[in-house]
Amino acid sequence: MAVPTDRRLTQRGEERRRQLVDYATARFAENGFHPTSVAEIVEGLGVGKGVFYWYFDSKEELLRAILSDAQHDLRRTQRDAIADAGSPTERIERGIRASIEWSIEHRDYFRLFQFAATDGRFSSNLRTGEQVAVRDAARHLAEAMAAGEIAAGDPELLSHAILGVHTHLVHLVHRGLLDPTPAELDAAVSFCLYGLLGPRTKG
Amino acid sequence: MAVPTDRRLTQRGEERRRQLVDYATARFAENGFHPTSVAEIVEGLGVGKGVFYWYFDSKEELLRAILSDAQHDLRRTQRDAIADAGSPTERIERGIRASIEWSIEHRDYFRLFQFAATDGRFSSNLRTGEQVAVRDAARHLAEAMAAGEIAAGDPELLSHAILGVHTHLVHLVHRGLLDPTPAELDAAVSFCLYGLLGPRTKG
DNA sequence: AGGGTAGTTGACTGAGCGGTCAAGGAACGC
DNA sequence: GCGTTCCTTGACCGCTCAGTCAACTACCCT
């Protein structure tokens, strides 16, 4: 009945699970979570329905697994991006760029994040990850403030503001309303950085 | 079968329709569009199922009507807010503030916008309204640029960036992670304005 | 009063849903 | 070859869903 969390999968099993996750990710992102049925997923892969329930307890659990995978992937990408940055400000800028690029590349994940944020059944799964990322960014902002690189302010609030810009612009790119050219990305990053910079006596 | 678009409603009819719209808005926002059934709506109001289909062709059409109402309300609020502003920059600032305040006040509408943006069946309904609002804001930005009040840049891109900040911060307020105090709003508006201001030789 | 229209009822339909399960096949260690 | 575990099948279950409709009531106009 319940799928044990520690089930040992053979290679065949791993591959099948991957297929399910990948195909479901694409369908959920394209057609929406609720409108996509389990029947549609297994039929799309040409397998029996029991296969689905061999690997997952429910459709909900599958989405949670997808979201978790995506969050870990994003986080790893961010960590790698800021690893060899010198100053706090540089870490912030690289973090912003890496997040935007990842979100553009992983369109399906991004859409699922957007959906999950609107559904009480899944939004809690996002919060932890978002909180970690925001706290992280806020730490860099606080350092930059201490170093006098940017204006003083609430680091978490500003992190969220940046996240808002990032999210919305990626949305535009996915909708085809914005070409993700270096110039456009620079403009977005610049908006954020000058927003952080705040009032200055000299620039 | 189909509800005529020009059906004459008596006062009683208008009130019933209002009840349906209001109750459905609350349920859709709270529980999600797909998980909320027509049965749940009519039972919540203590009426028969036929009532629903007397006023609306489908659950989808009802959501579309709600979204349309909400967009018109927001737009009216924005227009009123910037009516008596002197400079382009002041119009921008008042527009931002009015949008944030409206979104905080109309939590249900805001959540439905968020959901609709993730669902291909409804996102087209939002686009027109968003485009109008963005074009409008972009016009003020262009004027401000021409007047030398802010740095040159792509007005539409910057409008979207502001919209992104607005959206994300309102989200935070609704999640209880941010108190919408004047100071917090000022910080958000300031982030946007300095982002717009961009590089300056003097401030 | 009476006739028309606006509004209402709730049982009903047919389809589709998420999820189950007994049975059977494939891979692997022995 | 044989037993065990891993995996797969697809008919099936109970239920809920969006949407229908014939019969009915409330209201308004004359």
Over residues A151-191, the pLDDT tens digits come to 899 999 999 999 999 999 999 999 999 999 999 888 888 88
Q: According to the model, what pLDDT value does residue A18 have?
A: 97
pLDDT band with cut points at 50, 70 and 90 for residue B180? very high
Q: Does B164 touch chain A (CB under 8 A)?
A: yes
pLDDT, average across residues B49-74? 97
Work out the mean pLDDT of chain A and round it to a whole number: 92
Residue B155 corresponds to which tokens in the numbers above?
Answer: 């007005």
Of A120, A172, A203, the CB nearest to B203: A203
- Which chain D positions have some atom within 7 A of a protein CB? 6-12, 16-23, 27-28
Closest by CA to A96, choosing from A176, A171, A191, is: A191
How far, in Å, are A9, A168, B69, B115 from residue B188 at the CA level?
Answer: 49, 16, 27, 24
Smallest Cα–Cα separation from A159: which of A179, A127, A131?
A131
The tokens describing B141, both together, are 């930005």
Two structure tokens written together for B178:
């941010």
- Report the 3 state secondary structure along chain A: CCCCCCCCCCHHHHHHHHHHHHHHHHHHHHHCCCCCCHHHHHHHHCCCHHHHHHHCCCHHHHHHHHHHHHHHHHHHHHHHHHCCCCCHHHHHHHHHHHHHHHHHHCHHHHHHHHHHHHCHHHHHHHHHHHHHHHHHHHHHHHHHHHCCCCCCCCHHHHHHHHHHHHHHHHHHHHCCCCCCCHHHHHHHHHHHHHHHHCCCCEC
The structural domains of chain A, ordered by start, are 11-57 (1.10.10.60), 66-197 (1.10.357.10)
DSSP H stretches of helix in chain B: 11-31, 38-45, 49-55, 59-82, 88-105, 107-118, 120-146, 155-174, 182-197
How many Cα atoms within 13 Å fall on the side-chain side of residue B63?
A: 27
Tens of pLDDT, residue by residue over B132-160, are 889 989 999 999 999 988 889 999 999 99
Closest residue, by C-alpha, to the C1' of C21: A50
Residue B203 clears pLDDT 50, i.e. is over it: no
Tell me: the pLDDT tens digits for A23-54?
999 999 999 999 999 999 999 999 999 999 99
In this structure, which amino acid lies at residue A176? G
Are the CB atoms for A198 and A153 separated by under 8 Å? yes
Residue count of chain A, please give it.
203
Q: What is the mean pLDDT of residues A108-126?
A: 96
Q: Is pLDDT above 60 for A102?
A: yes
Which chain A residues are Cβ-neighbours of B115 within 8 angstroms? 118
Answer whether A84's CB lies under 8 Å from A63's CB. Answer: no
Cβ neighbours of A183 in B, within 8 Å: none
| Chain B residue with the nearest C-alpha to that of A184 | B157
Distance measured from the CA of protein residue B64 to the C1' of nucleotide D26, in angstroms: 30
User: Which of A145, A165, A166 to mutate to probe the B interface, most B CBs <10 Å?
Assistant: A165
Confidence check: pLDDT of B201 > 80: no
Q: Which of A31, A32, A191 sits opposite B161 (nearest CB)?
A: A191
pLDDT, position B89: 87
**Distance CA B51 to C1' C7 in A:** 8
Residue B68 scores a pLDDT above 90:
yes
Q: Is pLDDT above 80 for A92?
A: yes
Higher pLDDT, B57 or B128: B57
